Copies of this chain bind each other. A is one copy, B any other.
Amino acid sequence: MKILIIGAAGMIGMRLAKSIVKDDFSGRINDITMFDVIPPKIERDKNSYKIKTGDISDPNIISDLISQKPDIIYNLAAIVSGDAEENFQKGWDINTKATWHLLEEVRKEFVASNGSYKPKFIYTSSLAVFSGPYPDAINDDFSPNPETSYGAQKLVGEILISEYSRKGYLDGIALRLPTIVVRPGKPNKAASSFYSSIIREPLNGFEAILPVSEDLCHWFASPQSAVGYLKHAAKLDFKKLGNKRSLNLPGVSCSIAEQILALEDIAGTKVSKLIKRIPDKKIENIVKNWPQSFIPDRAVQLGFSADKNFKEIIKLYINEEINT
């Protein structure tokens, strides 16, 4: 079985690749290609992967990737929300047009092979497809209405995946990931970046800035859960999806005050006091329109499972990034 991971140098992409190699999908994997604009920083098990780099907005690159006929295609490549909002063209090129080129290239291979080539196409979408006003908890019927470029770009990707699946050219799924915390490393241009910083920086002895009010609630998953969703999708019987190919995923609903309390419980007030409240209206205006909680019945019925609570999410970060 061949697996192609696009966006493999990202935090989730690298974890996914490592995790797939580790459990090997019951020994059926003989080829993993990791593709990104830069090479992934992988040292251990380096020979387990084919590493390719290039610009995903280049149709020739896509043609080359799909000509290898991967059985499972993960498309995790994305321009993050803040960047996509600032750089309109770049966001649409990478988040939507590159996805469309991938789907088109798969369709060409499907047609050329008389339908014998029909891969699984697993796409990371986002809660950003939604906007308020929200009900207390969002069920699977809540209608998307993006209010960011990133959200609009992901939603168009979802519709394309649904359509190419309905026509039978591939078997697609769009996973609307919760906000992933705790991200290791540096802050990025995502408006959600502070959600990781306020946990990560204090745990590493640094100050962190909280730019929004503490009563804001949001929907979270750990990087480990995100990898779990992506691997579960690869094993899923896609017939169960019918013509609804986009899934709201399970997660943990939690206010910032509760996050800070969880941090305090685990690491003490000395650590939690490193969070400095410096309001930033620009960020608050984005984040306050984000969904707070979901009732992701379909995904749960399909076997996707979430972290237990926010404390577990923090502990996973500590175990993996600090205690190693």
Chain A interface residues toward B at CB < 8 A: 88, 107, 131, 141-147, 149, 152, 155-156, 159-160, 162-163, 166-167, 243-244
Query: Contacts of A163 on B, CB cut-off 8 Å?
Result: 146, 149, 152
Number of copies: 2
Which 4 interchain pairs have the tightest Cβ spacing? Answer: A143-B143, A152-B163, A156-B156, A152-B159
Question: Would you call A145 and B244 a contact (CB within 8 A)?
Answer: yes
Given A152-B159, A159-B156: A147 and B88 within 8 A (CB)?
Answer: no
A185 to chain B, nearest CB (A): 30
Given A152-B159, A159-B155: A144 and B143 within 8 A (CB)?
Answer: yes
Query: A141-B143, A147-B243, A152-B159 provided; 11 other pairs, C-beta below 8 A?
Result: A88-B107, A143-B143, A143-B144, A146-B162, A146-B163, A149-B163, A152-B160, A152-B163, A152-B166, A155-B159, A156-B156
* Cα A156 to Cα B160 with chains together (Å): 8
A150 to chain B, nearest CB (A): 10
Query: Contacts of A152 on B, CB cut-off 8 Å?
Result: 159-160, 162-163, 166
Query: Contacts of A160 on B, CB cut-off 8 Å?
Result: 152, 156
A35 to chain B, nearest CB (A): 25
Query: Contacts of A107 on B, CB cut-off 8 Å?
Result: 88
- With both beta carbons as reference points, the residue of chain B lying nearest to A244 in the complex is identified as B145
